[in-house]
Amino acid sequence: MTDYLSTGALPEEYAQLAKTVRDFTRSVVAPVAAEHDRNHTFPYEVVSGMAELGLFGLPFPEEYGGQGGDYFALCLALEELAKADQSVAITLEAGVSLGAMPIYRFGNEAQKQEWLPQLTSGKSLAAFGLTEPGAGSDAGGTRTTALADGTDWVINGSKQFITNSGTDITKLVTVTAVTGVKDGGKKEISTILVPTSTPGFTAEPAYDKVGWHASDTHPLSFDDVRVPQENLLGERGRGYANFLRILDEGRIAIAALSVGAAQGCVDESVRYAKEREAFGRPIGANQAIAFKIARMEARAHTARTAYYDAAALMLSGKPFKKQASIAKLAASEAAMDNARDATQIFGGYGFMNEYAVARHYRDSKILEIGEGTTEVQLMLIAREAGL
């Protein structure tokens, strides 16, 4: 993969994966995207197709049911899917990066053997419950508690904006909770595995969102939810620190998804600019339109290079926090800017929801918010620069 940065050509295995997912996106995802968006329905048939392709297992070892690939392979799949439907792409991203990856990174062998084969197969989904009404980037605001009671944890509290948390195939939510107080009075935050069948766990009614209408997102409540103490994921008191590692990786994945959205807007705009005629010629013959599309292409290319670079550092074991934030920042802004420009190019048609550019216009805003806002990325980049 690192060869791409100097030669401009993906190695064969990556190129073949991208082509496979591109073909799947065109033949399976794109034809039903508008319908699921309009009806706010979860695309189970599409998710089943992704599972058959092995996409949920891409970055995991074969011993856990995975494909034996890496995180960059996941990113390539996300980019291709997001060209047509961001809801489908975020379902995969959250299912892998936020659902299965914490178990792979921090779980013990028993937890990996129990949960990973289900999740890497795509037959089950897991979610990560971090954000609360008063806590997101601010871990100190966490109010959900998990108190030890004999051999169990008893969990009480709530979470919000949790992706993949209420589908028919959601089997697990990993929850951050206050499990005690550290020296100095700071909250001890740990992560605990909560099967969705556990009494007292409730996925509340789904949100009515601006975009990502086919993505499953719910608030969650925990009312004396009792799980065994062996459901602790990783070291006690390291829950938030571990999740920061997951977020660093996830920002590369979100950047890849954002690049897909940005490129999808370019592709749609090029097609439309060649077909739509005004004053006797295609609108793409006008410099105002051609230059707008050229800027869109430049944004997508620049953002793609940024996430490729961050992924290369990550896979080589080098520090990548700053580069992941740069990629996420550049790509999310490229997606939003390209969606706005594409909508302008399409004119009145760009305001009609059945057109992909209209969906991208609604969908892309969350890319500047989720998994770390633009402001958080700027803070992290500045901090890494020594400020």
The residues that are catalytic are 371
Query: Around Cβ 213, how many Cβ atoms within 10 Å?
Result: 23
Q: How far is CA 115 from CA 109, 205, 245, 323, 336, in A?
A: 10, 26, 20, 31, 36
Alpha-carbon torsion, ordered 111, 17, 312, 360, to 10 deg: -90
> How many Å apart are CA 12 and CA 15, to the nearest integer?
5
CB 345 within 8 A of CB 286: no
d(CA 34, CA 302): 29
The residues, ordered by sequence, that sit 6+ positions from 63 with a Cβ below 8 Å of its Cβ are none
Question: How far apart are the C-alpha atoms of 125 and 94, rounded to whole Å?
Answer: 9
Apex 288 CA angle, 284 and 290, nearest 5: 40
What's the half-sphere exposure (Cβ side, CA atoms, 13 Å) at 372?
29
Which residues, in sequence order, are CB contacts of 123 under 8 Å at separation 6+?
A: 51, 169
Per DSSP, 100 falls in state I
CA distance 269 to 332: 19
Tokens matching residue 361: 């216009």
- As a three-state string, the secondary structure of 177-197 is EEEEECCCCCEEEEEEEEECC
Q: Is 277 helix (H, G, I), strand (E, B) or coil?
A: strand
